[in-house]
Structure 1
Amino acid sequence: MALRAFASQAATALRLSSRPVLFRHFSTKFPEGLKYAKSHEWFKPEGDQGTMGLTSFAVDELGDIVFVELPEAGSKYEPGESICTVESVKASSAVYAPVGGEVIEVNTSVKEDPEKLNKDPFGESWLVKLKIANQDHLKSLLSASEYESAVEQSKH
């Protein structure tokens, strides 16, 4: 009798442990309400202006950021044009304008303390504020879920 109970428990345990475990783990979270470029910049449109920065995925890939070179206010950029540079212990990387427009403000606190980007890429560590040249530029950007899918596909 004890053997039969043991065998039944073992079979139950085996079925549970042999069942495939399905889960998705994302090391990054991408806030809703932002737009995303495939080149890993985020953009928060607000009327005819917007704020941009690097996604947490880009920051994680770069590693510890040690230097940020920002553009000057008044500079104009086309979508996809290099707007600034970030350097990490691993590499130097261009940051691209997600939309075309004129720089109206830069985040000097990130320039003074680049490590802020490692801690809060979607908040206080924004890079540049732009006056949007053409609202149609926003159409080429991705939603949070679309960007998350693009990031997952790039990992495979």
Structure 2
Amino acid sequence: MFFQWKSGDYTIRGEKPCYYVLKKVSSTPSLNTNMSGNEVETRSDKVDYPFINDPEVIGKWDSVDFVEDINNFNPEKKSWNGDLYLNNLIFDENGKIENKNITWTKDLVLNTSDKTASKYIIKEINGSKYMFFEWKNGDYIERGATPWYYVLKQAK
């Protein structure tokens, strides 16, 4: 199988994707091996937090940018030149997030499948509310990278 690998080098640095050439050796995958069949040490967060309400987060938030550091965000100039993978998040009451297999509690978005707890920070900038949401993808889980931030703007 020829597998196109679009890692952080592709999504963040704009480099061309690499291809892995894979040979099937088993029909039973192991949860802790990488593409080459080597054992990998994965990172996981504590995800069993109690629900604490946060009325400020409830509602729809639309993605507007993706930044390496919160201080790099400028609402007048987009930092990320590519398409944004995450279009929006809709935070429902009682810790639910619409159409996602994730939940939330005050200051955190919890993904029990990936075992990640991503911080969110809400700031008011020029009269609009923005959320900075830690993006904990495979680069964080498997490579130990520091997460970047999706910037989402509160929908009217």
TM-score (norm 1): 0.22
Larger Rg: 1
**Which one has a larger percent strand, Structure 1 or Structure 2?**
2
Which one has more relative contact order, counting CA pairs under 8 Å at least 6 apart?
1
**TM-score normalised to structure 2 length:** 0.22
